[in-house]
């Protein structure tokens, strides 16, 4: 066995105990084409049909849990690694947790205390990333260990790696103030980890809602994975029913530019109120006459151009009418003139017949 993943991460942590933003795990020797941290699980979660588990899959889970419960750590690792070659751990967690819930009372080989203790040992000692995930998935069932044996700080630390955020997030979510824990984690991760945290977070406070509006969709993978969740959880429809600030209007515009895209997840036009939300956003500018910058012009142009391409799908023309009216103001035309050396500036000028 080589250096444990926990030690590898620890050697690369900063003085404040956090991982650098560009941290990544070493390449997995068992994978021919390397994935970015978290990407393999993200693809399995969002783009692959969930598997239909067989009786053999359940038997494999039972054998791995028995080995772990009995302290046969090498065997447990080998069995978990073999399981991961059949199914991604991210889709197998429910099977494992359900098996343990259903069998621990009748199977004398399944000792919950030993499983919890040995899962923690596995977490900090294994050099295999899949075993780390299985360990975290099991620790989710034991939230009472939060403050025991230095358990919580280690889970928080490993959660900063995008490869493990999903699994650690569910462990942390079971703790007291779990949603706050996940919120702090969301601000520390930037790739697939942030996508998972945004999906998990409950917008319990205004701070969380505002972060989701301004930062939640900003990740290093693809903003579209989180944009619609951020739009709904940050309360954009409710905000637009009242007067909003320019900062809110700008943030909503950035989100909408991602929400109009229909891939990889359903975009805003798939929702009954989607057209109304876009129209309300444009109408807010017409009512408030915010002093826009060129970035705002690009947001309006992106949404306007998309609506024109969609035709009737974008409604009765309200989005197009308001979009044209916003761009056609004297102030915004001046902004466009200042950027005629850019493709988008040229497109807007031509459309508005400024040339």
CATH code of 38's domain: 1.25.10
> Is the pLDDT reported for residue 286 higher than 90?
no
Q: Are residues 11 and 146 in the same domain?
A: yes
Q: Do 189 and 238 reside in the same domain of the chain? A: no
Instruction: Please check whether residues 172 and 70 belong to one and the same domain.
Output: yes
Claim to verify: residue 209 and residue 267 sit in the same structural domain: yes
* Domain endpoint, select from 202, 221, 240: 202
Query: Domain residues for 168?
Result: 1-202
Cβ atoms of 332 and 297 closer than 8 Å:
yes
Question: How confident is the model over 249-272, as pLDDT tens digits?
Answer: 999 999 999 999 998 999 999 998
Domain count, the chain: 2
pLDDT tier, 351 (very low <50, low <70, confident <90, very high otherwise): very high
| Residues 197 and 236 placed together within one structural domain of the fold | no
Does 61 share its domain with 160?
yes
Give the integer Cα–Cα distance in Å for 155 and 306: 43
Assign 185 a pLDDT band (cuts: 50, 70, 90): very high
Residue 223 sits in the same domain as residue 238: yes
Q: How high is the mean pLDDT of the chain?
A: 94
The CA distances from residue 322 to 24, 317, 326, in Å, are 45, 9, 6
Q: Are residues 316 and 340 in the same domain?
A: yes
Number of CB atoms found within 10 A of residue 287's CB: 11
125 and 12 together in one domain: yes
Q: Are residues 17 and 111 in the same domain?
A: yes
Predicted confidence band at 330 (pLDDT cuts at 50, 70, 90)?
A: very high
pTM of the model as a whole = 0.94
Residues 314/320, Cβ–Cβ less than 8 Å: yes
């Amino acid at each position: 066995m080589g250096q444990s993943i926990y030690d590898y991460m620890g050697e690369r942590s900063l003085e404040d105990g956090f991982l650098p933003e560009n941290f990544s795990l070493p390449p997995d020797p068992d994978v021919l084409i390397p994935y970015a941290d978290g990407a393999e699980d993200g693809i399995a979660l969002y783009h692959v049909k969930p598997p239909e588990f067989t009786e053999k899959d359940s038997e494999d889970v039972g054998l791995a849990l028995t080995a772990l419960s009995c302290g046969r750590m090498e065997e447990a690792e080998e069995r978990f690694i073999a399981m991961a070659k059949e199914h991604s751990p991210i889709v197998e967690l429910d099977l494992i947790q359900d098996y343990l819930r259903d069998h621990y009372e009748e199977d004398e080989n399944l000792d919950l205390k030993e499983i919890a203790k040995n899962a923690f040992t596995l977490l900090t000692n294994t050099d295999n990333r899949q075993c780390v995930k299985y360990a975290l998935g099991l620790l989710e069932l034991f939230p009472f260990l939060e403050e025991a044996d230095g358990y919580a700080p280690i889970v928080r630390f490993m959660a900063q790696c995008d490869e493990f955020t999903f699994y650690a997030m569910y462990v942390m979510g079971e703790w007291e103030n779990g949603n706050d824990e996940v919120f702090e984690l969301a601000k520390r991760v930037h790739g697939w980890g942030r996508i998972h945290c945004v999906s998990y977070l409950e917008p319990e406070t205004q701070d969380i809602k505002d972060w989701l509006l301004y930062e939640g969709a900003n990740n290093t993978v693809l903003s579209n994975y989180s944009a619609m969740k951020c739009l709904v959880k940050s309360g954009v429809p409710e905000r637009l029913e009242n007067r909003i600030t320019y900062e809110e209007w700008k943030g909503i515009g950035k989100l909408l530019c991602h929400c109009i895209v229909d891939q990889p997840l359903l975009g805003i036009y798939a929702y009954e109120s989607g057209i109304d939300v876009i129209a309300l956003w444009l109408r807010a500018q017409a009512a408030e006459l915010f002093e826009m910058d060129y970035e705002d012009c690009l947001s309006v142009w992106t949404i306007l151009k998309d609506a024109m391409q969609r035709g009737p799908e974008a409604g009765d023309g309200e989005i197009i009418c308001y979009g044209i009216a916003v761009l056609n103001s004297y102030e915004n035309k001046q902004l466009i003139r200042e950027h005629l050396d850019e493709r988008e500036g040229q497109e807007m000028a031509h459309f508005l017949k400024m040339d």
